[in-house]
Amino acid sequence: MMPASKSHPTANLSPETVVVAAGRPPREPDAPVNPPIVLSSTFHGAGIPAPGERVYGRFSNPTWDPFETALSELEGAALPALVFSSGLAAVAAALSLVPTGGILVMPRHSYQGSLLLAAEEAANGRFAVRTVDIADTDQVLRALQGAEAGPDGGAEPASMLWIESPTNPMLEVAEIDVLARAAHDAGALVVADNTFSTPLVTRPLELGADVVLHSVTKYLAGHSDVVLGALATSDEELHARLHSYRSLHGAVAGPFEVWLALRGLRTLALRIERSQATAGLLAERLLGHPAVEAVRYPGLPGDAGYERAAKQMNGFGSILCIEVAGGAAAAEAVAGSVRLWLPATSLGGVESLIERRRRQPGEPHSVPENLLRLSVGIEHAEDLWSDLSQALAR
C-alpha cells in the first residue's frame, strides 16, 4: 500500500498536466515510462506483516498504486485514493460509514445504484434515509438538522449527507460548500459523488466534502471497457475504515482493469475539453428546437443551476438532458432513430450515448417519462448535431 503523503509532487501543476504526469515510475536509467502490470495474488514476506506491507492481493497491488496516487492528486486528497471493483462497490463502502441507526440524507435524483442500495439498507433496518431536492438548500438544511420529521418518522440530526452535483439525471446543482458546512455543524459526514463532473470540473474536497466517490467506469477510464470505482479522502480514520471494508468485503479490482483506467486517465483533460464544448453547443441549439420541450444543462444562462455551477465548477460538464415533445413514445423514437449516437446506458466514454432514463426499472417517478439523457463524447460536434436533428425530425 502506498504510504500516506501530505503533499503531492504535482501540487503546483495544473490538473491538465497532473492527469499526464501523476503516477509515473521513478526516473531511473532504463526504467519504464509507464507503470507495469503486476499479476500476483501473493507477495513475499515472513513473520508478522508490518503496517503497509502488501502481503496479499486483496489488500494491495503495485498496479493500483499509480492510479490511486494520480486520482488523489487530482482530487487534492492528502492520502492515496482507494480503487474498488466497481462504482457500486465504492458506493457500498461509502454507505458503510453511516452508523447503525443513523440517518442518511440523499438527493431524490441520484445514481440509481446508490438509491437502490440505500433503500435496501433502510429496509433491512440499518439506517434511515431522507431524500431531498439537493438544489433546495433550505430543504436540505432542515433534513440535516432534523428540524422536521422525514419519511423515517424521526427528527434526529443526520449522520451523513450524500451529494451529487449535477444530479443524475436531472442535472440539479447543489451548493456544496454551504451544505458541507451545515452537515458538519450537524455532526454529519459528507460524501460527494463526483462522477459527472470529474476533478477537472469540480473538487468537492476543497468545498468541504469528507469523501469523494467516482464510478471510474465513466469519465476517468473513459473508454467503456472497464468496470471500476474509487473513493478519495484526506481523513486518516475514514481512509482506514474504507480500506478495511474493501479488504474484508473483497471489493478489489483486477490489476489489468486498473492499468487500463490509468491509461484512460491520461487523456481525461482532452476528452473533457472536447465533450464539454460540444455539450454546450448542442444545448444552445436544442433550446429552440420545435421537438424539444425543455433542455437541462447547467451551462445555459437560463438553467436553474447556472449561477451555482459557474461559481463552483470549471466548466459545465458533458451531460445534458432534453424532454421530447410527444411523451415517452416520442422519446423512445428519437433514441431509436439515431445512427451515430449509441442508444445505451452508462456515460463518460469517448462515444456519445443517448438513453430514456424512465425505461430503467426503479428510476424515480419525478424523472419525466420523455426525458433523454445525452452523454456527449468526442465526435465532431456537427456530426452529432446532424444525427440528433434527423432523429428529432422523425
For residue 365, pLDDT over 50 is answered with yes
The DSSP call for residue 56 is B
CA 182 to chain centre: 22
Q: What is the mean pLDDT of residues 51-74?
A: 92
Contact 319, 215 (CB under 8 A): no
Side-chain-side CA neighbours of 13 within 13 Å: the count stands at: 16
Dihedral over alpha carbons 111, 115, 118, 123 (to 10 degrees): -160
Instruction: With a cut of 60, say whether residue 388 has pLDDT above it.
Output: yes
* Backbone φ, ψ for residue 175 (5° rounding): -80, 85
Q: What φ, ψ does residue 195 adopt, rounded to 5°? A: -60, -45
Of the candidates 167, 227, 223, which has an alpha carbon nearest to the alpha carbon of residue 197? 167
φ and ψ at 233, to 5 degrees?
-155, 160
Contact, 219 vs 272, CB < 8 A?
yes
Give the whole-angstrom CA distance, residue 12 versus residue 257.
29
Domain layout of the chain by residue ranges: 15-265, 268-393
The CATH number of 15-265 is 3.40.640.10
Q: What is the mean pLDDT of residues 315-335?
A: 97
Q: Write out the catalytic residue numbers.
A: 58, 111, 193, 218
User: Quick one: which H or E segment has residue 193?
Assistant: strand 189-193
DSSP assignment letter at 110: S
**Looking at the predicted structure, is the pLDDT value of residue 386 above 70?**
yes
- For 82-103, the pLDDT digits (tens) are 999 999 999 999 999 999 999 9
Rounded to an integer, the average pLDDT of 316-321 is 98
* CA distances from residue 39 to 57, 135, 253, 257, 307 in whole angstroms, order as listed: 9, 45, 12, 11, 48
Pairing of strands 128-132, 319-324: unpaired
Question: What's the rounded Cα separation, in Å, for the pair 168 and 196?
Answer: 8
Nearest to 22 by CA among 79, 70, 67, 64: 70
Instruction: Give 230's pLDDT tier (boundaries 50, 70, 90).
Output: very high
The average confidence (pLDDT) of the chain is 94
- The per-residue pLDDT for range 215-229, each reduced to its tens digit, is 999 999 999 999 999
Q: Domain 268-393 belongs to what topology? A: Aspartate Aminotransferase, domain 1 (3.90.1150)
Give the relative orientation of helices 112-123 and 87-95 as an angle to the nearest 10 degrees: 40
| Share in percent of the chain as helix, strand, coil (round to 5) | 35, 15, 50
* Among candidate residues 234, 205, 206, 199, the one with its CA nearest the CA of residue 220: 199
Q: Look at residue 250 in the predicted model and tell me its pLDDT.
A: 95
Single pTM value for the model: 0.94
Q: Is the pLDDT of residue 393 over 90?
A: yes
Neighbours of 189 (CB within 10 A): 24
